[in-house]
Amino acid sequence: MAQQQDAIEEHQGAVLDPILLFVAFVWGGNFVAYKYLLDLISPAGLLAARFIAITLILLGVLAWRGRLRRGNTPAMWLRLFLAGVLVMGVQQVTFVCGLNLTAAGEGSLMFSTAPIFTALIAAAIGQEAISGANWLGIAGAMTGTALVILGGAGAQHVPATRVTGDLLMLVSSLGYALFMVISKPMGQRYGALKIVTFAYVFGLLVVVPFGARDMVAADWASLGALGWAAMGWLVFLAGVFGFVAWYWRIARTTSSRVAVYQYVVPVVAMVAAAILLGERPTPVQFGGAALVLAGLYFARRQAPAACPS
């Protein structure tokens, strides 16, 4: 029966999954929504508001499903505390600060390296094996990342702080990879929704002190209809719906099928940033972006999929 189910899932992998495709487009637009709002609200204030909103909604969903208190163990709390504070909280801070200092397209490419870091960390602790093709992909993706950073010196509509921002996005990508590796065994036991929810809860211990003052001082009334639409995008579409839908599909299909859609995110982000924000990558950066995406494909062949954002 299990083999028959696997065969069915592999056969389904040839067909586009509308849910995963929609989530990938949403996460690609996430970078543009962030950049728009960062012109109106400070990075710290925006992060705190989004993080608190997502946490409250996820807690509500978990309670509605009757899983808020069921099955919790002391070992789970300790691991989630460490993952939430040391990884999720710090990762979110570096993400929003890094994106504030670089272009949306560049930032999305830097963050798309998370599966590379995930593979390296998982291999280092014996959770996964890395084949020759995987190593080739890792080398290609890292080379492409360097080209994106170095080739952006002459790009239009790019902040002068872009190198610092790109490096912070790489740090955020590494933090997310750590969370994916740490949460994988817990997710198999307790469920992905519970792990993500309580990681957000403990992440508040970092995010609230970092951004509470800016969040309270922010002029939220000045956002206007477009600003609130972008905020709704970040909280409801990219945050709550994106996480729940992504992990729901992971539980019902093969990892190779899910992995394909992570390559769509930086492409959507770069196209949307070019249309809506006027970002114009250089030819070298286009080549680097192609190398990153090709590297991601080879680096993650036959490996578990990671959530891009």
| DSSP codes, 205-235 | HHHHHHHHHHHHHS-GGGSHHHHHHHHHIII
Q: What is the pLDDT of residue 57?
A: 94
DSSP 229-265: HHHHIIIIIIIIIHHHHHHHHHTTS-HHHHHGGGGHH
The domain spans of the chain are 17-299
The three-point CA angle 234-107-224 to 5° equals 35
For residue 46, give the H/E element and its range.
Answer: helix 43-64
Closest by Cα among 104, 119, 57, 83 to 306: 119
pLDDT digits (tens, 9 = 90+) for 91-149: 999 999 999 999 888 888 888 888 788 778 878 887 777 777 778 888 888 888 888 87
Closest by Cα among 37, 21, 16, 48 to 214: 48
Q: What is the pLDDT of residue 93?
A: 96
Place of tokens 């019902």: 252
Cα separation, 229 vs 222, whole angstroms: 13
Q: Is the pLDDT of residue 256 over 60?
A: no
pLDDT digits (tens, 9 = 90+) for 42-57: 999 999 999 999 999 9
Residue type, 194: K
Q: What is the pLDDT of residue 6?
A: 39
Q: What is the DSSP letter of 161?
A: T
Q: What is the pLDDT of residue 7?
A: 41
> What's the token pair of residue 40?
């109106």
More confident residue, 76 or 252: 76
For residue 3, what pLDDT band results from cuts at 50, 70 and 90?
very low
